[in-house]
Structure 1
Amino acid sequence: MIKRLWAKLGKATLPSADSEAFDNVPRHVAIIMDGNGRWAKNRGLPRMAGHHSGMKTVKRITMAAERIGVKYLTLYAFSTENWKRPRAEVDFLMKLPEQFLEVELKDLMANNVQVRMMGYREDLPPHTLKAVEEAIERTAKNTGLVLNFALNYGSRKEMLEAIKEIAIDVKRGELAPEAIDDRLMHSRLLTSDIPDPDLLIRTSGELRLSNFMLWQLAYSELWFTDVYWPEFTEEHFHEAIQEYRRRARRYGGL
């Protein structure tokens, strides 16, 4: 199994057990899943067909990440700006978590995957929230890959909310201004209990972050592809991982 996976990652030989190569798989991968609508349009299909097909890619890439040892996979499922889309499309998108979890939760459980969500629950329809919270509860004790859905998430809102909390604590005298640092800010973000992404992948050829994890991505490696999300395969994912492994991460040092 390991030998086949490393062959797919482009390794000519299998590293030894103490090789640094085993330590160079990104711990946390974040993905902006883009291009569902354009994929559908190119095939003369409604946008909803693209979103439905993209849902199948979620399962495929989750299992690929789990197999190579990624610990956290964060998927940008619905942004705070996506509410501006046509009502019919928004309604359809809000049904996808139910459909995905209804079909795939059994396999996620079997593969020890833990489901989480980061985002703002108050605006989500009850049926969407119920499905997500049930999956979170049922997988809470799983110890494998953490599948983190960014649902009704926006990074600017996240940072503003964190700053407001810090300002309130300062005003109350519970926090000294000089105590505000990177660690404190991280503790107030929605990702306070997971590490920052090592690698960001964005599909569909767009070269922007789209209000996604702006604080957390400060030192992440970025990898872009023209491939639309419904067409994104395990091989494309391995290509991104291989590129990540070739890069030297210096965090501003030498």
Structure 2
Amino acid sequence: MKKLLLATVAVLGTAGFASAADLPARMPVKAPPPVMAPAFSWTGCYIGGFVGGAWGDDATTYPVGAGYGYSYSLDSSFIGGGTLGCNWQPIGSQFVLGLEGEVGYLSLEGSAYDPVLGLVAPEYSSTKIGDWYGMITGRLGVTWDRALLYVKGGVAFVDVETAISGTLGAVSYAGTTSDTIATWTVGGGVEWAMSPNWSIKAEYMYIGLDETQTVAFPATVPSFAASYDTEFNGIHTAKVGLNYRFGGGAPLVARY
């Protein structure tokens, strides 16, 4: 009986080994490839604020017909304001196209006495640029990850006022001219996306005034010159800002 049991076990073991040998070899299982999230996109509209500073080139006043002129510097100014704009980044491209509007505060002022006429009759010339300015600009940028390096340019609007006052004997006279000047602006900057919605920027813009403003007096005013021309050059601005983008771009991470 014992021998019969041993023989049965041996036969069953041999049959099981043979059946296992007939099974196909197990194929290795490959892990699925990682699925990359879309790259960060700058497409979308945004609103922001900024602070910075502005400084201007000298203003020069010429008493018309007097054959001379004199210059005076403009004080630097704090600037601050807001921006509203939209960006478009084509899928798969590093380039970003944008349109931006900017409105801000600035106040550049300067003045001087006429160094020649002042020897006979004190005469005073002053200039004020501000208290506000605006820009409408196009923007072209190139991105590296979340960094955006860009140039921009367009039209700027600046309020400019010139005044002349003086005395000649017992007679006092004064004149003022004020205009809102539309001119060109150009510059650039760098922007960094801290998150899908928030970004910070640093930017320089030049406003090219290149204008002449004239203050004229009536013929009854006993001054040495009937009118005065004041020339302006450019305004330099530098700012830092914070933007909030609606919607936000996709994060630069990989999903596994």
TM-score between the two structures when normalised by the length of structure 1: 0.21
Identify, as 1 or 2, the structure richer in strand: 2
Relative contact order higher in (CA < 8 Å, ≥ 6 apart): 1
Identify, as 1 or 2, the structure richer in helix: 1
